[in-house]
Structure 1
Amino acid sequence: MAEALLSAMLGELVSIITELGKQELRLVKDVEKSVSNLRKKLEDIQAVLEDAERKQLDDPSVRRWLGKLKDVSYAINDVLDDWSFEILKSQIPNHVEEEEGDHHQKADLISNKMMTKKKVCFPSPSCCFCLNQLKQVGVRREIAHRIKELNETLDEIAKEKNAYSLEKTNNASPKERRETTSFVYEPDIDGRDEDKSLVISKLLSHESSDKGPVIIPIVGMGGLGKTTLAQLVFNHEKIKTHFNERIWVCVSDPFDEVRIAKAIIESFTRSHTNLDTLEALSHRIRESIEGKNFLLVLDDVWSDDREKWEKLIKPLRCGAVESRVLVTTRKTEVANMMGVTSSQTIKPDLLSEDHCWKIIKRLAFDGRNDEELKQQLEGVGKEIAKNCKGLPLIAKTLGGLLFSKETLKEWEDVLSSKLWELQDEQSKTFAPFFLSYNDLSPRQKRCFSYCSVFPKDFKIKRSDLIEMWMSHGYLSGGPQDMEKEGEKCFRILTMRSFFQDFERDVDGSICSCKMHDILHDFSQFLTKNEFSAMKVDMEDTEPLSVEKVRHFTLQTPKLGGAKFPASTFDQNNLHTLFLNCSGSGLDDDDDDYDMLVFLRICRNQKHLRTLYLENCRITNIPEQLGQLIHLRYLNLSGNGSLEELPDEVCDLCNLQTLRIQDCEDLERLPKGMGKLVNLRHLYSFGCHNLKGLPKGIGRLTELRILDRMIIPENNEAYLSLGDLKKLNHLQSHQTVFVIDNCHNLISMGENKERVLVNWKYLPGLHLIFKQWDREICEDEFGMLETLQPYPGLKNLSITSYRGTNLCPEWMVSLVHLKSLSFCECLHVETLPPLGSLPSLEELRVSVCQKVRKIGVEFLGNIKHNSNNVSFPKLKLLGFWSMNNWEEWEDNIETTEHTDDAAGGAIIMPRLDSLEIDCCLTLKSLPEYLKLTPLKKLSIWSSNMLCQSLAQSEKEWLKISHIPNIEIDRSLATRRDGKWNYDELARLGVPRAFVHDGNEEDPS
């Protein structure tokens, strides 16, 4: 940790010394010499840090010395940041032209300023310059004095190090390791086949309980693989087809019945709920599950409070008798509290050494082709596997470590490491993780340890994490490469199994992840004197002492909901403030208290780099926010009642990331945003009331990420689409780029300029035209052609388009497109020939009211397609609210998708799921569905189609091969290849239609 701090700081010192030579800063006597001395002392200390960090695990005196070093390192970091700010401020012009309003308004404004100047006597420009210079000299002298004091403190620390016989280590840059991400996808746990079969058999058994759903606990120590076992079962095909509903809720600590109940409802309804009381939520749960056969997984339960458990389980008793609740927990007391018998409890054994080696081997040997070397490594690897203690988490971590070790000697060094011999119990527990941690570079160590700022079980967004790393200067390598360095660091930590539970985008890239509880504990162990967390759920919470804490996480129902002491923020040492507000509801008297807390933060925490206030129900931002001059990362997302940002936000010239997504009431952004010269990431998706982005954003040459562009009605007042060309570094490789109000292009005179076609970093594009307007507008086709994206686009959505033609020439040339969506294209009568798109995997069409027929042209020009295949990779196809859709034409010769097939067309050979919802007039399905490998068909609120299926054997045979069918949200009529004849009878389907000769005749 100290090594990582100093590594980042030395880079900053080099930058400061270089800048001293460029700027007129030598007015402060001997400051350059002081900074150079500081650098030399830090370099001398850095040479022994690796040995010190190793010895501190068993030597408290070395640990205390490192603590002193960390404290002074943070203090030096703060001083250097003050100095850098002075340099930056001197480079920003005092007056930034505000490019808002038409030129007449500008002229009036200039005229008014001139009239004002006639009435007031100002000092001459040269006098102002001199006064400003004198002020700067004063500030810099104060900083120089602080540097001198820190030099003296560092002298004492440097002398003290001699008492510990610390050895110097070679600080040469480590050689590059081979890299791959092929094993990032989490594998099954070796040695758990019997446990998996046992859990599945209990879930599918006919056992019932008069106390509600049968409860099945999985009990075992941390790192045993309980959650992974539950995930394997949850996603097993038999479980998917047996249960109508499957719900996964991560419980963790504390046991919050309201939050869990909300999660259950949202899984059933697929939408968020605004209910706030447990009584109302319980009533909704009863309505949602009554008579249904569900599986509920409650992962990581700690509380054995029977009263809380009863409140949660009571509404679940309305489900079908075959319903199940699967619980994972470390505590036997939890299973006992639930009233579960020992025979019902599953206690996985520790893995054998052989199975641990299999996990290590799969990860460590990934990509290795030298069979002779692999045989040499195997003997050492099996010995290392003995140190896994039977825990798959440790095996995965060691496998990730050994993947980076290329020689037999490096493997033997892992086996003979002194870390296995640690005596301190807590350090000994973390020994396997120390091995992997110590093998990281200082930068990677710092990035991992910073993850302790997130609460346990928190879903960590990859882009958020990288931007927070950047805000603390952990990612060096020059301003052009910080994001790339962050991506590399994230990839390495992922390969080392420090992260898990990955969520991916349509391209397979990781969007978010979590940390295992044990690894989270390990990160907190590494940072116990720098990071602190506090949970607030009582009125009388004591203030936290944050004298040395630099990164602080507060978990609270809302910013002022628990009335925690604002004096908590009176210290001025914090670099990170992470507020995790999990509650709901907003009391009328809370606003003033929230503002008081916010003001205390702004006035006292002058050195904050990261301020995370997502979903804190903030309604106002004080202008004092502009005093946080070192702030690099500001997250205000999800504060739906926030109406505006104060102009003082533009004083945050160090700001790199501004997140304001889903601030639905936000009406304007400050006009002076052109002063945010270091802004690299601006996220505003979900800010529906914004009319445009300030014109000054077009001057932000450092901007990399812009997730949303709003085409304004007034080109003079706001950023225009053409302005994007000025942003040379703009990339959107981590997000979908939204262009809102595309209809305004026609009034902007930009409808002939194709800005996006050369934007190579654009993986996803969402085009939104005029919402709530049902008038036809043929001119929008020209606008659609103007918005031609780069051919490498992978994700495209078009919403509220008012033209009749939805097929510009560029659409069928998107050969890399994987996901496509049309929504509320109210005047379109014919869908484009999408079957020709070779990479399309997901297609969704909704609220296209004029479509009456989907004809063969929809399949594309099959004869010109490769191998006569239409929709060659399509997996998901969905139609919603197509109220006038009557016919799905299939007048085309087809053939089965086999190697010897010839002559006919092959249509949708990979189709897995088909959803049809609220298509009231659709009468039949196409014949070619019989030849698709469909696994799931859902038909909801489509009465004519249901009637046709029930009355015509020919129609029914089109879907009879599908293993999982759901009609009108009812019980699945076919589960795991078995027909539910009673359910079919209820739907009106004659038995003769469904007997296919492979099942026992029910009669």
Structure 2
Amino acid sequence: MAEALIFVLLDPLISITTEILIQEVNLVKGVKEEVSSLKSTLVAIKDVLEGAEKKQLEDPRVRRWLDQLRDVSYDIDNVLDKWNTEILTSEIQKQNAPAPAPKKRKVSFPLLSSFFSLSQPKKLGILHEVAHEIKKLNETLETIDKEKHYYSFETTKVVPNKRRETTSLVDVSEVYGRDADKDYLISKLLCDTSGHGGKVPVIIPIAGMGGIGKTTLAQLAFNDEKVLANFDERVWVCVSEPFDEIGIAKAILEALRVDSCQNLNRLESSLQRIRESIEGKKFLLVLDDVWTEDREVWEQFIQPFRSGAAGSRILITTRKHKVATMMDVPTPMLINLELLSEEYCWSIFSQLAFFERNGEDRQQLEEVGKKIAHKCKGLPLQAKTLGGLMRFKETKRDWEDVLSDQIWESHDEKIKHFAPFLLSYYDLPPLEKRCFSYCSVFPKDYEFRRDELIEMWMSQGYLSSDENPENRGQNCFKNLIMQSFFQDFRKDGDGNILGYKMHDILHDLAQFLTKNECSTMEVDEENILLHIAEKVRHLTLLFTAHRVELPTLMLDEGNLRSLFIFNSNLSACDLRLPHQTSGPLRYLRTLNMRNCGISWLPGKLIGQLRHLRYLDLSLTMLEELPNEVCDLCNLQTLRLEFCHACERLPEGMGRLVNLRHLHVLGCYKLKGLPKGIGRLTQLRTLDRVVIPENNHEEYVSVGDLEKMNHLQLESAAEINGCGNLKSLSEAEKLAGLMKRGNQVHLILEFHSRSLSYETVSKEDDEFDILEALQPRQSLKSLSIRGYVGASLSSKWMTSLHNLVLLLIWDCEFFDTFPPLGRLPSLKELVTDRNRGLRKIGGEVMGITTTTSSASTSSRISSSDDDINVEKGGVHGFISFPKLKQLCFRDMRGWEEWEGCESATNMPCLHSLSIYRCDSLKSLPEFLKETPLQHLHIDECRILSESFLRSGKEWAHISHVPTIQIDYKYVKRDGNWIETPYELDS
């Protein structure tokens, strides 16, 4: 990893050479020469690093030499950062001091002019300290440089890899060679198991070596249409090591949509809730990557699943056959996954390696390519990795070099195991090597979010030499995907990637490469003294105890640059932080305490972390941030997502001059954002805008935000307080801000809670404001909350042609829907809490019928012009062409629901839920023409009585396989239930 570190250091070191001591250099004798010497030595060492990185695999002496180089590189980085932090702190203090002159100078940060305005004694003190450290580091580095001659390194000038130009990611979703295995597995999932003693549930293990495709096979079966139709509930949980029963149980409950607010801190209560949730249901549970061989732990965990219905299955994937033995699985249910044939490995390899190549190239490279594919040894992951590597190798000589690489002949079994992946790793540029290896700090099966990871890379300085580090990080991430370092993508219904994972073997590789630098420790005691190796730079703590007190002193030296705290107990963990810290954390760049259960952040502790760039406190119970956070002048990213208790942000946030990303989505108690945010010229992204009541001056205004040239709203953003907008011009400014960036998911909240129905007057109608807030047409999801207007029919509503999800919450007073049936991509529509609407008919379907003396005609509403056609002439029109899920809740005044006989209504409808709609009299006839699969009706008095008393409504829904009325299954899988099964409410 030293190679990447050197490249990270050179830019700031060159800068400090030319910048720091231009003025008054004679104050400290020889400093300029020391800095120049330091730079020259690093440049000389850089030229041999590529060979040294590979040679260390077989030579422990080289490994020790690289470790020394890495350590001194970190120390150099710390010295540079200490210098720049002192300069920046001085400049901020000067800018915030009372200005003697009436004219305020524009904020800028010329390091030298600021520094040399310090008092003479302080200036000399800082220079002497830096000079002493640089001299000492230079001596150490010169010793390391001399030692490199002992190892006969080849000198190579590192240049960017010559890669074939490409713009596309390869679709490797096709799975080769597993059709028979898939069919066999599905037959086991669906077969009658009465011959096996009728046990519930039946356990089916898939066993095989790492990278052979166990998870892929399980995913193929999990998403198969026959499997989807066969089970009431399907749950997928990644297990890995250790086997954390509470964490797994909570993940299962979350997938089952069980209320997470309940007290489920103990395993017993979690398992009891699982039993209640799946009792009498046919379920499929997938436990991916199981390692435990502890029969006692497994038996306790499996007990609640025995309450499921006959036909329930638990599918596990494991590398260890002993796991299946421990579970007493009958031999016919065990699937031993075999290696792929060379033919199938070649298919996977060639799909990637020859992507975008012409036939002539393929013919020239095919012979050597088949020899490389032979080295995959039947493992699809290796075929994918090597294919991704060869995709960017241009010439036949490049391919032959990979085939003849000495790494294939290594005597070290671990290196031989990693050989294909190491070849891909060493082919990466230094930046991408460093960014990949950093991923070892995350637990296995961690789902990465691209922008979150890029912000962490930035905090470590990997992307700092670029004017737009975010773009550089996106390119780096894309290149890692292209070479299969990230995979197992989670996608939404439209195929958009929501999250990424790293295969266990690649995670093992990252840990292998950083074994002395990164450390992961499990903390399962309430009070524990952590003994951490001196050279550890990135520390991950996995908490499983319910209450943990973080030790004040964790190590003797200030070496930590990253601290991650992951909590297996979610919000159940009560993490107590020390009031202050000392050396161990003083150079910390990245602090991630997401979802770790803290409710208080000590100001003295956080104020000492002056080098911090990334702070994540999301999903904690913090009520406020201490003012000392504003002293973190290097902070680039602050994440406070879904801190529901947070009521205020510090007023001094204007001092966070390097802040680029502020994430406060879900902080619902914030009444506004501090005024100082408007002065943060570096701020790039913001995911929540709060319009304060009465234009309160202590909060930032829409006008302030509009003037920030670099600011863009996050792709998923929330606008709170739209009802506080006082004019159309202010609303238009907000609309302009909303159009910056690439809006995909948007929440427009007018009021945080519904107004009293009796107090709303015509003056409260907010339609003009809604009309002015025209969002980007690229939106895929839109939520409108607390709107008090009488109409939702804004002109822009039906222009959202990409909209997939629409939520209308707490909009109590509108009495007419917009023509939503015209939205071509809408898949889910939810309306929650409304008292003004009495009838749903043709207007929402996209058609309104009008009567005149001349004729009766239907009008098809469109986003452009209304089209009038004679009644009966709209048979080709499809209303809600892609709608799958429809939900109405708390619509107390709703009485009638009609469709349009002259059009096709909701041809894709799969699920319909109606809750607490007391006045609704009947369901529309068009439902009998839909492919509806699930109907849920609850607390709809008139409608329920109509079904249970006269049954005249059954004709509309008799084809629906599953019907639930007032929490009783009336029909399931097409079978009538004579004694309705009472569900747990």
| Aligned counterpart, 2:128 | 141
| Aligned counterpart, 1:840 | 826
Q: Contact 1:658/1:681 (CA < 8 Å) preserved in 2? A: yes
| Aligned counterpart, 2:711 | 730
The CA deviation at 1:738 is: 0.7
Correspondence 1:535 to 2:557: no
| Aligned counterpart, 2:871 | none
| Aligned counterpart, 1:708 | 688
Correspondence 1:515 to 2:502: yes
Q: Residues 718-759 of structure 1, C-alpha deviation per residue, up to 9 Å, x if partnerless?
A: 0112211122111234x3111112222239993564543642
Distance change >3 Å, CA 892–CA 155, structure 1 → 2: same
Q: Contact 1:241/1:964 (CA < 8 Å) preserved in 2? A: no
| Aligned counterpart, 1:374 | 362
Distance change >3 Å, CA 388–CA 41, structure 1 → 2: same
Given the alignment, which residue of 883, 886, 897 partners 1:888?
Answer: 897
| Aligned counterpart, 2:450 | 462
Q: Residues 443-480 of structure 1, C-alpha deviation per residue, up to 9 Å, x if partnerless?
A: 0010000000101122222222111000011114523x
- Once the two structures are overlaid, the 10-residue window that deviates more, 7-16 or 939-948, is 939-948
Correspondence 1:404 to 2:392: yes
The CA deviation at 1:794 is: 3.4
Q: Contact 1:623/1:648 (CA < 8 Å) preserved in 2? A: yes
Q: Contact 1:929/1:958 (CA < 8 Å) preserved in 2? A: yes
Given the alignment, which residue of 353, 357, 364 partners 1:364?
Answer: 353
Distance change >3 Å, CA 609–CA 781, structure 1 → 2: same
The CA deviation at 1:771 is: 2.6
The runs of 5 or more residues in structure 1 that have no matched partner are 100-125, 895-905, 988-1003
Given the alignment, which residue of 624, 629, 645 partners 1:644?
Answer: 624
Q: Contact 1:546/1:571 (CA < 8 Å) preserved in 2? A: no
| Aligned counterpart, 2:248 | 260
| Aligned counterpart, 1:117 | none
Distance change >3 Å, CA 339–CA 842, structure 1 → 2: same
| Aligned counterpart, 2:44 | 44
Taking the aligned partners of 1:730 and 1:505, their CA distance within structure 2 comes to 27
Distance change >3 Å, CA 781–CA 468, structure 1 → 2: same
The CA deviation at 1:620 is: 2.0
Taking the aligned partners of 1:760 and 1:131, their CA distance within structure 2 comes to 41
| Aligned counterpart, 2:870 | none
Matches within 5 A, 1:788-827: 788-827=774-813
- Once the two structures are overlaid, the 10-residue window that deviates more, 530-539 or 152-161, is 530-539
Correspondence 1:771 to 2:752: yes
| TM-score after normalising by structure 1 | 0.87
Q: Contact 2:570/2:595 (CA < 8 Å) preserved in 1? A: no
The runs of 5 or more residues in structure 2 that have no matched partner are 100-112, 848-858, 864-875
Q: Residues 769-816 of structure 1, C-alpha deviation per residue, up to 9 Å, x if partnerless?
A: 223333336332233234232344333211111221112233233344
Q: Residues 331-364 of structure 1, C-alpha deviation per residue, up to 9 Å, x if partnerless?
A: 2222111111222211111111111112222333
Given the alignment, which residue of 548, 552, 577 partners 2:539?
Answer: 552
* SS in structure 2 at match of 1:72: helix
| Aligned counterpart, 2:766 | 780
* SS in structure 2 at match of 1:467: helix
Matches within 5 A, 1:438-453: 438-453=426-441
Q: How many residues align?
A: 934
| Aligned counterpart, 1:111 | none
What letter corresponds to residue 632 of structure 2 in structure 1? Answer: L
The CA deviation at 1:614 is: 1.2
Distance change >3 Å, CA 201–CA 838, structure 1 → 2: closer
Q: Contact 1:751/1:782 (CA < 8 Å) preserved in 2? A: no
* SS in structure 2 at match of 1:263: helix
* SS in structure 1 at match of 2:700: coil
Matches within 5 A, 1:155-194: 155-183=142-170, 187-194=173-180
| Aligned counterpart, 2:868 | none
Distance change >3 Å, CA 15–CA 812, structure 1 → 2: farther
Q: Contact 1:47/1:171 (CA < 8 Å) preserved in 2? A: yes
Correspondence 1:304 to 2:290: no
- Once the two structures are overlaid, the 10-residue window that deviates more, 627-636 or 613-622, is 613-622
Given the alignment, which residue of 371, 387, 402 partners 1:383?
Answer: 371
The CA deviation at 1:705 is: 1.3
- Once the two structures are overlaid, the 10-residue window that deviates more, 328-337 or 235-244, is 328-337
Taking the aligned partners of 2:94 and 2:896, their CA distance within structure 1 comes to 66
Distance change >3 Å, CA 673–CA 308, structure 1 → 2: same
Distance change >3 Å, CA 201–CA 440, structure 1 → 2: same
What letter corresponds to residue 634 of structure 2 in structure 1? Answer: N
Q: Contact 1:530/1:550 (CA < 8 Å) preserved in 2? A: yes
* SS in structure 1 at match of 2:891: coil
* SS in structure 2 at match of 1:718: coil
The CA deviation at 1:763 is: 2.8
| RMSD of Structure 2 on Structure 1 (CA) | 3.1
Matches within 5 A, 1:590-609: 594-596=576-578, 599-600=580-581, 604-609=584-589
Q: Residues 499-546 of structure 1, C-alpha deviation per residue, up to 9 Å, x if partnerless?
A: 233234677543322222111110000011111111111468563233
The CA deviation at 1:95 is: 4.7
Distance change >3 Å, CA 366–CA 581, structure 1 → 2: same
Distance change >3 Å, CA 674–CA 97, structure 1 → 2: farther
Taking the aligned partners of 1:335 and 1:672, their CA distance within structure 2 comes to 58
Taking the aligned partners of 2:769 and 2:862, their CA distance within structure 1 comes to 29
Taking the aligned partners of 1:213 and 1:663, their CA distance within structure 2 comes to 39
- Once the two structures are overlaid, the 10-residue window that deviates more, 653-662 or 664-673, is 664-673
The CA deviation at 1:827 is: 0.8
Q: Residues 819-852 of structure 1, C-alpha deviation per residue, up to 9 Å, x if partnerless?
A: 3221111111111112333443433322233322
Distance change >3 Å, CA 341–CA 933, structure 1 → 2: closer
| TM-score after normalising by structure 2 | 0.88
Taking the aligned partners of 1:308 and 1:880, their CA distance within structure 2 comes to 42
Distance change >3 Å, CA 244–CA 75, structure 1 → 2: same
Correspondence 1:414 to 2:402: yes
Q: Contact 2:633/2:656 (CA < 8 Å) preserved in 1? A: yes
What letter corresponds to residue 203 of structure 1 in structure 2? Answer: L
Matches within 5 A, 1:497-516: 497-504=484-491, 508-516=495-503
What letter corresponds to residue 719 of structure 1 in structure 2? Answer: V
Taking the aligned partners of 1:295 and 1:217, their CA distance within structure 2 comes to 13
| Aligned counterpart, 1:849 | 835
Matches within 5 A, 1:91-106: 91-96=91-96
Q: Contact 1:189/1:392 (CA < 8 Å) preserved in 2? A: no
Distance change >3 Å, CA 496–CA 90, structure 1 → 2: same
Q: Residues 482-511 of structure 1, C-alpha deviation per residue, up to 9 Å, x if partnerless?
A: 111111111121222222332346775433
| Aligned counterpart, 2:567 | 581
Taking the aligned partners of 1:571 and 1:716, their CA distance within structure 2 comes to 45
The CA deviation at 1:566 is: 4.2
The CA deviation at 1:413 is: 2.9
Correspondence 1:878 to 2:887: yes
* SS in structure 2 at match of 1:54: helix
| Aligned counterpart, 2:224 | 236
Correspondence 1:335 to 2:321: no
* SS in structure 1 at match of 2:20: helix
* SS in structure 2 at match of 1:533: strand
Q: Contact 2:899/2:905 (CA < 8 Å) preserved in 1? A: no
The CA deviation at 1:761 is: 3.3
| Aligned counterpart, 2:872 | none
The CA deviation at 1:327 is: 1.4
What letter corresponds to residue 418 of structure 2 in structure 1? Answer: F
Q: Contact 1:506/1:819 (CA < 8 Å) preserved in 2? A: no
The CA deviation at 1:432 is: 0.6
Q: Contact 2:650/2:674 (CA < 8 Å) preserved in 1? A: yes
Taking the aligned partners of 2:307 and 2:920, their CA distance within structure 1 comes to 35
Taking the aligned partners of 1:275 and 1:738, their CA distance within structure 2 comes to 30
What letter corresponds to residue 42 of structure 1 in structure 2? Answer: L
The CA deviation at 1:53 is: 0.8
* SS in structure 1 at match of 2:635: coil
Taking the aligned partners of 1:23 and 1:889, their CA distance within structure 2 comes to 81
